[in-house]
Amino acid sequence: MFAVISDIHSNLEALTVVLEDIEKRGIDTIYCLGDVIGYGPDPKQCLDLIIEKTKWCVLGNHDYASFYEPTNFNYGAEQAAFWTRDVLENEPDKALRDKRWEFLGSLPMRHTCRITLAGTEVATDFVHASPRKPINEYIFPDDVYTNPVKVQILFEKVEHICFVGHTHLPGVFLDEPDFYLPSELGDEYPIIKDERAIINVGSVGQPRDKDPRAGYVYVEDNMVNFVRLEYDIDAVTEKIIAVGKLDNFHAERLFEGR
Ligand SMILES: [Fe+2]
């Protein structure tokens, strides 16, 4: 069994609830698809938990933005990236400061492996955004109707299964192309031989599918299970509003899941 989490966005309250749920299920292998930081008020605590609790993590565009530079960010996201960088730079404990920067600076763009699920070996890719452009390319559910060729081209890069985050919209893409919401799948998708899938695990700290609950997936045997959990949104939004340099919109959107 393993869990895949993504897009925490410095939301400690959501991350804590998700990690507790994973532990309750007896899962001790956690993979992270990036965007640990950005938007939210607790970058240090979230980085420390991800370093401690996950087996590995890949690089997200917001991690890139704070460590290197923001690219194609709107004003609010860019301000959040610079504020996050300040917070990390102003950490007085040198060992902690170095540990976090070294973690951010060494995140790979992709993790590829073969996993045995219910007796079948599954070629699995883990990226933040897309198999073609692992840090920045959005794969939206609507793309299967508005840009099917794009989705088909993306599937040329997928040997069998690719886990992604980035859009904060959970669900499963098949190579028809097709897209299925977790609710259309009964919140579970079976990984089967000869069916390629791009699986979006959703977002821990900033869901955008109109459901404000924190999201992640865990895989048991060959079944991908989509999980949603309530958390203390008031607590995180109060902290966002208290930080003058974080746009209040980053707080408001959490209540609506957008
Ligand atoms: Fe994100």
Strand, helix or coil for residue 226: strand
Helix (H/G/I), strand (E/B), else coil: 255: helix
- The reported pLDDT for the residue numbered 208 is 98
Distance 118 CA to ligand 1 centre (A): 31
> pLDDT, tens digit, for every residue of 72-98?
999 999 999 999 999 999 999 999 999
Percent of the chain with pLDDT over 90: 99
> Model confidence at 52, in pLDDT bands (50, 70, 90)?
very high
Give the pairing type, strands 120-127 and 161-164. Answer: parallel
Pairing of strands 178-180, 188-190: unpaired
Q: What is the mean pLDDT of residues 130-139?
A: 98
Q: Ligand 1 centre from 167 Cα, in Å? A: 7
Whole-structure pTM value: 0.98
Question: Which residues have beta carbons under 5 A from ligand 1 (an ion)?
Answer: 7, 35
Q: What is the mean pLDDT of residues 117-146?
A: 97
DSSP per position, 65-93: HHHT---S--HHHHHHHHHHHHHHHT-S-
Report which secondary-structure segment, H or E, holds 233: helix 233-242
How far does residue 163's CA lie from ligand 1's centre (Å)?
A: 14
Q: How confident is the model at residue 134 (pLDDT cuts 50, 70, 90)?
A: very high
How confident is residue 55, by pLDDT bands cut at 50, 70 and 90?
A: very high
Q: Which residues contact 255 (CB under 8 A, 6 or more apart)?
A: 212, 233, 237
